[in-house]
Amino acid sequence: MNRPTDPHKMTQASTPVGTHPGYMPGFGNDFETEALPGALPQGMNSPQKCNYGLYGEQLSGTAFTANPPERTWCYRIRPSVKHSHRYVKIDLPFWKSAPCVDPDVISLGQYRWDPVPHSDEGLTWLTGMRTMTTAGDVNTQVGMASHIYLVTESMVDEYFFSADSELLVVPQEGRLRFATEMGIIDLEPKEIAIIPRGLLYRVEVLEGPARGFVCENYGQKFELPGRGPIGANCMANPRDFKAPVAAFEDREVPSTVTIKWCGQFHITKIGHSPLDVVAWHGNYTPYKYDLNTYCPVGAILFDHPDPSIFTVLTAPSGQPGTANIDFVLFRERWMVMEDTFRPPWYHKNIMSELMGNIYGQYDAKPQGFIPGGMSLHNMMIPHGPDKEAFEKASNSNLGPDKLENTMSFMFETRFPQHLTGFAATEAPLQDDYIDCWSDIEKKFDGTPGKK
Ligand SMILES: [Fe+2]
């Protein structure tokens, strides 16, 4: 297996697409990897002639002048200009981009959905994407969209990239293979993957049907959150992020490339596989992460910290401390706080919160928020525990208690989220969700000391 860059040492990868993937550990490292020996130039980026007759090409994920710049040098069978021809606009009617404000849809409220069911229709990564909410503006590269994917069929000689966005993929059911220009990522529930803006790939079904959640990030890339006084350890550790080793295809076969660009989809026809990068080096890569390696930090004496303490990745917005998107994980953990209302408290939030359940039971909502389901508590909309959760948490004996069989997440954004028509009318919206708070009683009667 290859390792992050050591300028004096380079091991060889040999993982052709279609075989078992290999990965390199580290977050944002300057990796280097080659699928054929000597394919990667050493000591320079642009030799007069590349080994094997390869073409050198840079993929820039940031402006050249960003600090630090994020880019990867690829050495490939054909340059990317050969992987596109004239474009024809196509329609993927269920994949929406912001701004997408439907005048017939009310986004103001508390919403919860059962899992979107699979249908008999064969669906790929592209046709099976169902947008639930959008926020911000894809054209100015701020905000996000949330999607559910329902995938039953592999993409065959069909490739895709998004110029609009980085995709954070959160599987809930089934296993997928992302065969990308930079190598293979296999993904299953309890893992996440990041597919960067501009990276070409094909999605295959390893075990179907596959369902999961996607956060489409229009803005600045996800990064590790600042740890502040927590220090160097716990939360998401850099070594647990895995970038793929180089892998390539040399296949001459009629193929299509679909591109998402400024919220629209276009298709182009080519005569070969574009997954032809034989070697690469750089810090702009896809990667995966095992959520089981996330080490939660919490209160160990009293009170309930803000959920931001469970941030796995954050995408900055340019306003310090105010994320375009935080990806937050609620997983198994011990609760030990004394004289404390332990579940999430009641609140209103300027940030808007979209949650998904990967498996198990969420502590603030023992009923109704089920695996594969989602909820949305939009900007400044009140929410909190239902009556059952409140009464149990207010009256139980507080010993050490482990929350088990639970893994949920939140896409939290500084921008209000707008429901799509699909989310409001076709997805299994729970019309009675708001009733989960209707039984909450007035306890106050003016008696001092009453609890
Ligand atoms: Fe909240």
Residue 266 inside a domain? The answer is no
Is 363 within a domain? yes
Distance 370 CA to ligand 1 centre (A): 17
Q: Is the pLDDT of residue 97 over 80?
A: yes
What is the reported pLDDT for 64?
93
How sure is the predictor about 451, in pLDDT bands with cuts at 50, 70 and 90?
A: confident
319 CA to centre of ligand 1 in angstroms: 21
Q: What distance in Å separates the CA atoms of residue 97 and residue 143, rounded to the nearest whole number?
A: 10
335 in a structural domain? yes
Quote the ligand 1 centre to 379 CA distance (angstroms).
Answer: 10
Task: Give the pLDDT of residue 362.
Answer: 82
- Tell me which residue of 318, 99, 71 sits closest to 198, measured CA to CA: 71
User: Could you tell me which residues are annotated as the binding site for homogentisate?
Assistant: 362, 383
What pLDDT, on a 0 to 100 scale, did the predictor assign at position 316? 96
The domain of 335 spans 294-434
Measure 352 CA to ligand 1 centroid, in angstroms: 8
What is the structure's pLDDT at 334? 96
Q: Which segments are annotated as binding site for Fe cation?
A: 347, 353, 383
Q: Is residue 361 part of a domain?
A: yes
Number of structural domains found in the chain = 1
Q: Is 358 contained in some domain?
A: yes
| CA 219 to chain CA mean position, Å | 13
How sure is the predictor about 2, in pLDDT bands with cuts at 50, 70 and 90? very low
- What CATH number is attached to the domain comprising 330? 2.60.120.10
311 C-alpha to ligand 1 centroid (Å): 14
Whether 275 has a pLDDT exceeding 50, the answer reads yes
Whole-number Å distance, alpha carbon 26 to ligand 1 midpoint, is 31
Q: How sure is the predictor about 363, in pLDDT bands with cuts at 50, 70 and 90?
A: confident
Q: Is 304 a catalytic residue?
A: yes
Phi then psi for 326, rounded to 5 degrees?
-110, 135
Question: Tens digit of pLDDT for each residue in 296-341?
Answer: 999 999 999 999 999 999 999 999 999 999 999 999 999 999 999 9
Catalytic entry in 8, 85, 304, 377:
304
Q: Is residue 377 one of the residues assigned to a domain?
A: yes
Residue 257 scores a pLDDT above 90: yes
pLDDT in tens, 51-79: 999 999 999 999 999 988 999 999 999 99
Which residues, 6+ apart, have CB-to-CB distance to 357 below 8 Å?
172, 369, 370, 371, 372, 373, 374, 407, 408
CA 157, CA 253: separation in Å to the nearest integer?
A: 7
| 174-202 residue pLDDT tens | 999 999 999 999 999 999 999 999 999 99
Mean of per-residue pLDDT scores for the chain: 93
With respect to residue 24, please indicate whether it lies within any of the assigned structural domains.
no
Q: Residue 419: exposed, middle, or buried by beta-carbon count in 10 A (0-12, 13-18, 19+)?
A: buried
pLDDT exceeds 50 at position 10: no
- With cut-offs at 50, 70 and 90, classify the pLDDT of residue 21: low
pLDDT of residue 149: 98
Cα–Cα dist 86/420, whole Å: 31
Q: What is the pTM of this model?
A: 0.94
Read off the pLDDT of each residue in 86-93 and give the average, rounded to a whole number: 97
pLDDT at 67: 87
Mean pLDDT for 144-153 is 98
Is residue 273 domain-resident? Answer: no
- Looking at the chain, the whole-number percentage of residues with pLDDT higher than 90 is 90
Residue 170 C-alpha to ligand 1 middle, in angstroms?
A: 20
Residue list for the binding site: 347, 353, 362, 383
Q: Is the pLDDT of residue 9 over 50?
A: no
Model confidence at 19: pLDDT above 80: no
